[in-house]
Amino acid sequence: MDEEKILTPAHEDYVKAIYMLYSRGVEVTNSALANQLKVAPASATNMVKKLSDLGLVTYEPYQSIALTPAGELVALEVLRHHRLLELYLHDKLNLPWEMVHEEAERLEHVLSEALEDAIAAALGNPTVDPHGDPIPTKDGKVESVAGLALSLAELKHPYTIVRVLLQDAERLIYLGAMQLYPNATVTVLKRAPFDGPLLIEVDGEHHALAHDLAECIIVK
Amino acid sequence: MDEEKILTPAHEDYVKAIYMLYSRGVEVTNSALANQLKVAPASATNMVKKLSDLGLVTYEPYQSIALTPAGELVALEVLRHHRLLELYLHDKLNLPWEMVHEEAERLEHVLSEALEDAIAAALGNPTVDPHGDPIPTKDGKVESVAGLALSLAELKHPYTIVRVLLQDAERLIYLGAMQLYPNATVTVLKRAPFDGPLLIEVDGEHHALAHDLAECIIVK
DNA sequence: ACCGCGGAATAGGCATGGCTAAATCTTAAC
DNA sequence: GTTAAGATTTAGCCATGCCTATTCCGCGGT
Ligand SMILES: [Mn+2]
Ligand SMILES: [Mn+2]
Ligand SMILES: [Mn+2]
Ligand SMILES: [Mn+2]
């Protein structure tokens, strides 16, 4: 019934990328996938066909790509590894939040079930990673994080950051310098027109925040 | 001066295997290497030639193989990763000592310098792993562990275990059941002739221990 | 209905790291 | 000194995953 598992890191990264695109509401085209993974379009076509043979994605030439239930389970398992690792590296080994993504990107593929469990236990079975991204459960459930983008927040009203939708190290360092971490309290004081920057207050300090960055900060 | 680093996990495992054989006093022949890594002799020949091109081993056809100073540094770096990981998994994540080797075998290849440092710091810059194997320093020094095999120990004299020269999970479980861990106190009560089993006392219990296992237990 | 353009699939290569089978070298025994 | 066994190397293959260049679809605009 359940298929053999001979998935390489490449398989896992493709499946995860398909899941990420899909969950972000992007249509999963061959080029979107190739772009996400920084590979040539031909490489993506090639791997998608293999994943189709493995029963992990549905694929018809020239159609957009989707995960099968089996594929989604694989994606969620890898994502669970990734986010557990990010949180562990951040909380227990004190790596800064801008470093954990890259590190977890490699470690996620070599985690045994036993080590996954040990890490989850050591963290007290957490539900979100250092960026506020939800950690899938072992049986493949993810809770969606409720909230709105800081760019849409009401003025002069304190909000709590629940998630930061970025992995780029440079930008995370920049946000970190302003203490814009999950659980921080932030207030939008002014909003410039034409999608201009926001004047915000965090930790008693005022900062100007670009609109595209504010869109990545989810608050409640 | 110093070469580019584009070493794959395969390169690292070969270099480490050469180091292990050499340090165990075994002549590093092609077949010993192939045997150690569970690959065909032709595969070993092939990789050894690549390592020679990379300046990591000295190689002449039909001669025995040796690491160059550069190769030895690579081996010690990988070994440091391996043993730090073993200790971390054992002490901080409570994995049993028979599981840590296999886990570290994969993780050792994807450890960044920053994570290596964080792990070493979290452990207080330790010098030995859960099997008593010495952990190389960052600049590539290993202290040799002094001691003698339990099979050669004086009778009725308490010794402290300092090292267990095994990675095989089955045997480690067996020894663990008798509390034969590093730092345990063990006394040899009798020794059967013709390399027969030893009667030992650990933790107030008496056990018969096969001679070949006793040879793997280093005491002081 | 036709065209053309961009996206997608194919064709053909390359590097890596395995393998088996067939030479070939070493060495130890006679 | 020959010779044969065993170790080693070579030759030739294969799967994986990536690439570039080329061909092929399919759709929107005319
Ligand atoms: Mn990855
Ligand atoms: Mn994250
Ligand atoms: Mn390894
Ligand atoms: Mn060890």
Q: Which nucleotides of D are covered by protein (CB under 7 A)?
A: 7-12, 16-21, 25-26
Read off the pLDDT of residues A100-151 as tens digits, 9 standing for 90 and up: 999 999 999 999 999 999 999 999 999 999 999 999 999 999 999 999 999 9
Helix (H) or strand (E) run with residue B174 in it: helix B169-177
- Report the CATH number that the domain containing residue B45 is assigned in CATH: 1.10.10.10
DSSP state of B2: P
Which of B89, B102, B118 is closest, CB to CB, to A95? B118
Q: Which of B82, B93, B113 to mutate to test the interface with A (most CBs of A within 10 A)?
A: B93
How far A87 CA lies from chain B's nearest CA (Å)? 14
Domain boundary among A23, A43, A67: A67
Structure tokens at A214: 């504010």
Domain boundary among A25, A48, A67: A67
Residue B192, chain A, CB below 8 Å: the answer is: no
Domain contains B206 = yes
First to last CA, chain A: 43
d(CA A85, CA B103): 15
Question: What residues have CB less than 8 Å from A219, skipping those under 6 apart?
Answer: A147, A148, A149, A150, A153, A159, A160, A161, A162, A186
Domain contains B45 = yes
d(CA A212, CA A219): 15
Helix (H) or strand (E) run with residue B206 in it: strand B205-209
| Separation of CA A69 from chain center | 20
Residue B117, chain A, CB below 8 Å: the answer is: no
Contact B89 A115 (CB under 8 A): yes
Contacts of A89 in chain B (CB under 8 A): 115, 118
| Token pair 């022949």 in the structure block, residue | B29
* Cβ proximity of B186 and B201 under 8 Å: yes
Domain boundary among A67, A82, A102: A67
Per the structure, the complete domain to which residue B170 belongs is given by 148-219
* Cβ proximity of A118 and B93 under 8 Å: yes
Domain contains A29 = yes
d(CA A28, CA A45): 12
**Partners of A207 in beta bridges:** A200
Distances (CA, A) of B64 to B10, B29, B38, B56, B168: 20, 5, 18, 14, 27
* Residuewise pLDDT in 10s, chain A (220 residues): 445 678 999 999 999 999 999 999 999 999 999 999 999 999 999 999 999 999 999 999 999 999 999 999 999 999 999 999 999 999 999 999 999 999 999 999 999 999 999 999 999 999 999 999 999 999 999 999 999 999 999 999 999 999 999 999 999 999 999 999 999 999 999 999 999 999 999 999 999 999 999 999 999 9
Domain contains B129 = no
**Partners of A199 in beta bridges:** A190, A208
Strands A158-164 and B148-149, how do they pair? unpaired
Contacts of A107 in chain B (CB under 8 A): 107, 110
pLDDT, residue A1, reads: 46
Q: Which of B85, B112, B123 to mutate to test the interface with A (most CBs of A within 10 A)?
A: B112
Domain contains A125 = no
Structure tokens at B175: 């020894």
Domain contains A123 = no
Whether pTM > 0.85 for this model: the answer is: yes
- How many domains are contained in chain B? 2
pLDDT, residue A160, reads: 98
Coil, strand, or helix at residue B130?
coil
pLDDT, residue A4, reads: 61
Domain contains B179 = yes
CA angle A54, A55, A57 (to 5 degrees): 110
Would you list the DSSP string of A133-156? PBPPPTTS--PPPP-EEGGGPPBT
CA–C1' span, A15 to D3, in Å?
60
- Report the CATH number that the domain containing residue A162 is assigned in CATH: 2.30.30.90
> Ligand 1 centre and the CA of A108: distance in Å?
6
Domain contains B73 = no
